[in-house]
Amino acid sequence: MSAIKFCLAQLNFKIGDFEGNTAKIADTIFNAKQKGADLVIFSEMSVCGYMPDDLLDYPWFVEKCEQSLEAVAQSCQGIAAIVGGVMRNPNKGRSLQNVVCFMQNGRIQQITAKTLLPTYDVFNESRYFEPASATELINFKGVQIGVAICEDIWDIYNDFEYPKSPGTILKDLGADIIINPSASPFHLGKQSLRNRVFSGQASRFDLPVIYANQVGIHTELIFDGASRAINSNGEVALQLPEFKEAVHYIDFENNKFVSSNTVPVEPDEIETLHAALIFGIQDYFNKMGFKKAVLGSSGGIDSAVVQALLTEALGAENVLAVLMPSQFSSDGSVNDAKQLSINLENTFEILPISSIFNQFEDTLKPVFNGREFNLAEENIQARSRGVLLMAISNKLGNILINTSNKSEMSVGYSTLYGDMCGSLSVLGDVYKGQVYALARYINRHKEIIPQEIIEKAPSAELRPGQKDSDSLPDYGVLDEILRLYIEGRKSKDEITMEGYESQVVERIVNMVNANEYKRYQAPPIIRVSSKAFGKGRIMPLVAKYQ
């Protein structure tokens, strides 16, 4: 009977790097041929990387994409490949299609376009693509292969049900297997969601499924790989790792995968979060060509966790910590911050900001005119630190990394152009409670983050004796209200009905709404939840909210 040796290529592509991406694909095809594979499967939009966004509006970009697909096809001699890309739409409608090419004998044999175009949260595909108008199978070595691109296999796993089910169409056409080249971004819980979706769909269609995801970070999005092959009973026959490139082989005989490895258990949430952030930092620095980072080290929990993550991701010698105490900083904070840098073996600098702060106050005297200390003075401190950090970044070339967490970003407990500065936000999608859990995880083998940092009450230290809890509820309560409002899309009334004080809910939700303007100017945030701030959450600024 029919037998195919599949090669599942889970690779890291760079958006727009046609040369690099094409070389990587051709290389993989060459190696797979050496190993006797019949068909190599790459991820969605592999020649151009996912997602080039409005680069797709530039005709030269699309031409290069088409040329790259042609070039890759030439390397398919004695072996076949399924390669994703973008092509011009030959018919009426949007000018492009998101396609997968079946390549054999040195040329593109068949083109399958994507049917379901995700256009929600971080996805924007209807902005560029016309959906497929027809579907056909690929006959390869006697096996009828159906191609469903990414979202095409998620037809019933969304907030809404698509009018079309590409899987059902493929099944009805007589497919023996569904191949699903994807660009599926990570968020916490995505792995168990995928377990449900792929095993569920394999069973529903009674067909084996190969899911081939890309890996790598593209601005806010982490693509985590975790590609797999699933038999028609829903059992996982092959599971690729998360957060790294991997090329695996699996034999397909009599419409069944010959299992090649066992399925890893779902890892701990905080372990996964930690791995995702480390990978996110590393791949961002790699792809941008950056090497060294700088951050403000306040002695608080957020900067401590970011500093530890940067150190693990980039190496101790590539992280510069800057301590910028003011007259309101406690000695404890400075000592804790020092101890952290010592523990992590990072270079650190201490640049007190009192003289700068006093100079600003002096200069502003004619305007401030004796008005009392308030938010303005708090922000001057945070912004003076921003100026120092950016100056160091400009002078030494270290990239400034932001340390705000999601709880703060939500309620605007952060200073625009101050502690909101940075090229990349590491914790902007991590709630305060998760930040503590990360700290404990980082300390799992030995005390890296001084225990004092974990134990003391959070404070911005921008005025005497300030504590976060002066103006915010405990982080346990705050995080839960935020989750219900941001991820859960609940109304104030619904949140109150879950058992929270209505005045507190009212205040927190209003703070979230009132601070859209700050988040509009925030750095890109590594996305680790199903609803992160950034491109996946578009809110009007000029509006009247609930």
Taking CB under 8 A as the criterion, which residues in 196-235 touch a second copy?
217-219
Choose which of 20, 36, 142, 315 interacts with a second copy (CB under 8 A).
Answer: 20
- Residues numbered 335-354 forming contacts with a second copy, rule: CB under 8 A: 349, 351-353
Choose which of 42, 52, 146, 412 interacts with a second copy (CB under 8 A).
Answer: 52
Torsion of CA 234, 272, 275, 468, to 10 degrees: 150
Binding mask 288-327 for a second copy (x = CB under 8 A): x---------------------------------x-----
Which tokens sit at 17?
Answer: 């790097």
Judged by beta carbon, residue 243 or residue 257, the one nearer a second copy is: 243
Tell me if 23 contacts a second copy by CB under 8 A: no
- Give 347-413 as a DSSP string: EEEE---HHHHHHHHHHHHHHHTTPPP-HHHHHHHHHHHHHHHHHHHHHH-PEEEE---HHHHHHT-
Own/partner long-range contacts of 233-239 (Cβ < 8 Å, ≥24 apart): 233/202, 233/203, 234/198, 234/199, 234/200, 234/202, 234/203, 235/199, 235/259, 236/195, 236/198, 236/199, 236/263, 237/208, 238/8, 239/263, 239/264
Which tokens sit at 451?
Answer: 């225990």
**Minimum distance from residue 492 beta carbon to a second copy (Å):** 8
- Residues numbered 353-412 forming contacts with a second copy, rule: CB under 8 A: 353, 355-356, 359-360, 362-364, 366-368, 371, 374-377, 379-380, 383-384, 386-388, 390-392, 394-396
Token pair 């082989």 is at which residue? 249
Burial class (CB in 10 A: 0-12, 13-18, 19+), 352: middle
- Residues numbered 53-112 forming contacts with a second copy, rule: CB under 8 A: 53-55, 57-61, 91-95
Binding mask 132-171 for a second copy (x = CB under 8 A): ---------------------------xxxxx--------
**Minimum distance from residue 43 beta carbon to a second copy (Å):** 17
**Minimum distance from residue 322 beta carbon to a second copy (Å):** 8
- Residues numbered 486-525 forming contacts with a second copy, rule: CB under 8 A: 489, 491, 493-494, 517, 520-524
| Dist. CA 401–CA 281, nearest whole Å | 10
Judged by beta carbon, residue 3 or residue 391, the one nearer a second copy is: 391
Quickly list H helices, 419-522: 432-442, 451-455, 468-471, 475-486, 492-497, 502-514, 516-520
Binding mask 407-446 for a second copy (x = CB under 8 A): ---------xx---x-x-----------------------
| Dist. CA 186–CA 13, nearest whole Å | 16
**Minimum distance from residue 501 beta carbon to a second copy (Å):** 19
Question: Which is the catalytic residue, given 66, 150, 408, 490?
Answer: 150
Q: How many residues bind a second copy (CB under 8 A)?
A: 96
Judged by beta carbon, residue 206 or residue 493, the one nearer a second copy is: 493
Which tokens sit at 231?
Answer: 């038999």
- In the chain, the amino acid numbered 54 is D
3-state helix, strand, coil in the chain (%, to 5): 40, 20, 40
**Minimum distance from residue 183 beta carbon to a second copy (Å):** 13
44 part of the active site: yes
| Dist. CA 115–CA 539, nearest whole Å | 28
150 part of the active site: yes
26-34, 74-82, 114-122, 166-174 -> range binding a second copy (CB under 8 A): 114-122
Active-site residues, by number, are 44, 114, 150
